[in-house]
């Protein structure tokens, strides 16, 4: 049966955010993955940020580098120069792609240089020995680029940590905040966080969660939505934003609904 007009309008309005770039096709958090995501039509680029020992912001998800590089050790215990010696091209069992660790500032410049508005969804990773220095450095960099007040609409911040979101709000109250949810909401949502981010596993188990969150006036984004049936489920439930490793495929499916 053909989709209704209202369903089609809903699907077309859904934002697509590239999870660590187009990470189904390229190693995560590499400039190639992000350039592919922009080419694939992603509305925004999702990244995880950590602070190195010499206080550089790098795009790395894990606390340590073993999974995504040919090196060993904790990100926070190494300098940017030390991290730069590793190959961060480990992906699907391969580790010979020659990718260097990506500075957040370089990703920021890449997004700003796009030929259309491309946003950034930035998750600060916790726990970390850097503590609040991570959020302070992120806001400092955004301020240097004129993006910390939130007026551009290009940057939003995310975290599972209520404390991290609180620090970000104090430093940059104009930035949209997303409270990420993995299994269930263990602590009260920060009142300033207007977005809720449950994982797709949680949404599958409890589809009614999306409606309850929306009834509280929250905008809902779901991660990580790669499968066609999950895309359809999220659209049906009224999810506003999908975070996906496959931005092109998801964009094409939304256009066809």
- Residue 33: enclosing H or E segment and its boundaries? helix 31-39
Instruction: Note if 19 is an active site residue.
Output: yes
Q: Taking the CA of residue 187 as centre, how many other CA atoms within 13 Å lie in the half-sphere pointing to its CB?
A: 10
Q: Which of 19, 29, 169, 195 is catalytic?
A: 19
Instruction: Note if 96 is an active site residue.
Output: no
Q: Are 122 and 49 in contact (CB under 8 A)?
A: yes
- Residue 242's Cα: distance from chain center in Å? 10
Burial 123-152 (b: 16+ CB within 10 A, else e): bbbbebebebebbbbbbebbeeeebbebee
Number of CB atoms found within 10 A of residue 255's CB:
11
Tell me the C-alpha distance between 22 and 113, whole Å.
Answer: 18
Of the candidates 243, 252, 253, the one whose C-alpha atom is nearest the C-alpha of residue 47 is 243
> 99 — phi, psi (to 5°)?
-85, 135
Q: Which of 26, 61, 179, 195 is catalytic?
A: 61
Residues serving a catalytic function are 19, 61
């Amino acid at each position: 049966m053909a989709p209704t007009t209202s369903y089609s309008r809903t699907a077309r309005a859904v934002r697509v955010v590239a999870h660590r770039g187009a990470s189904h096709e390229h190693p995560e958090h590499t400039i190639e993955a992000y350039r592919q995501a922009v080419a694939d039509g992603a509305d925004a680029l999702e990244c995880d940020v950590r602070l190195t020992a010499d206080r550089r912001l790098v795009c790395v998800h894990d606390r340590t580098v073993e999974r995504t590089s040919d090196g060993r050790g904790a990100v926070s215990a190494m300098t940017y120069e030390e991290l730069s010696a590793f190959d961060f091209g480990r992906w699907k069992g391969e580790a010979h792609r020659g990718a260097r660790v990506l500075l957040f500032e370089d990703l920021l410049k890449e997004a700003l240089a796009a030929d259309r508005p491309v946003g950034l969804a930035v998750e600060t990773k916790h726990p970390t020995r850097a503590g609040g220095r991570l959020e302070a450095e992120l806001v400092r960099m955004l301020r240097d680029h004129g993006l910390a007040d939130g007026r551009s609409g290009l940057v939003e911040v995310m975290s599972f940590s209520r404390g991290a979101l609180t620090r970000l709000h104090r430093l940059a109250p104009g930035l949209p905040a997303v409270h990420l949810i993995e299994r269930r909401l263990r602590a009260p949502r920060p009142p300033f966080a207007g977005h809720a981010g449950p994982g797709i596993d949680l949404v599958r188990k409890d589809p009614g969660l999306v409606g309850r969150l929306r009834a509280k006036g929250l905008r809902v984004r779901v991660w990580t939505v790669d499968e066609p049936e999950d895309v359809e489920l999220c659209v049906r439930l009224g999810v506003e934003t999908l975070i996906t490793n496959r931005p092109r495929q998801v964009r094409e499916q939304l256009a066809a609904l």
